[in-house]
Structure 1
């Protein structure tokens, strides 16, 4: 019976040591978790528009992003392409992309990009607003809207 008793003692000692270690480590882990949570809360408060699911968010600095420029080129190309069934062009004067002026994004069933672009239209610089829907998992890219920008100066 003594052998059995010693066996229990040899199992209980490592288990007790493990519990003591957990008691020392657990409080510091909770403190780090609480600090991370506080940082996330502060970041959310700093960007209220991003907290709103589906909200339109400014994307400063993305004007030269190759993906965004590609979407702008796609929008100009789609707008200038022949209309189906009628075999007509949507515009008489071809548009040439000059630059992306402004970008906004919205999370929808995919991503909806609001892109303000400057184009050369027969020698004149004009601003247009394009809405492009992208659903990468479906391999979908669709021009939703393309219209002249309201109240915007082309000398941006």
Structure 2
């Protein structure tokens, strides 16, 4: 095993030192792919929706959270809110981190044609069809919602993390 993998294994005690079967390989590759694409999109791209309202951004608050109910007044709230500079930095950071790249490649998009074997091409075709069906279902559900749900819609999930 390469030394880089041995260095990170203590951080992931459930990750095996070796994979013995094809099923294990599929399982762990699926985890890596999911975390670098869908999981990252779900956690990352909604940050500005949440942190765009400064009171939702605890890292910017200047007072500790109250330890008793009913003891917070407007003065405490105003003293808790960050100054203009801190709030601007928090907003700018959240906004920058939640923007899609100009040349973003979304889930199922492989423009370089790295995969030439017919079984792989068929698997990609099946995968893209399933992504299309999920996208269509999410967009259909969104019609009746006051706010669209988009974070795990396949056409909004980049192939990988691009920061």
Pairwise same-fold verdict (TM > 0.5): no
RCO greater where, 1 or 2, for CA within 8 Å and sep 6 or more? Answer: 2
TM-score interval, normalised by the smaller of the two chains: under 0.3
Instruction: Choose between structure 1 and 2: higher helix proportion.
Output: 2
Which of structures 1 and 2 has the bigger CA Rg? 1
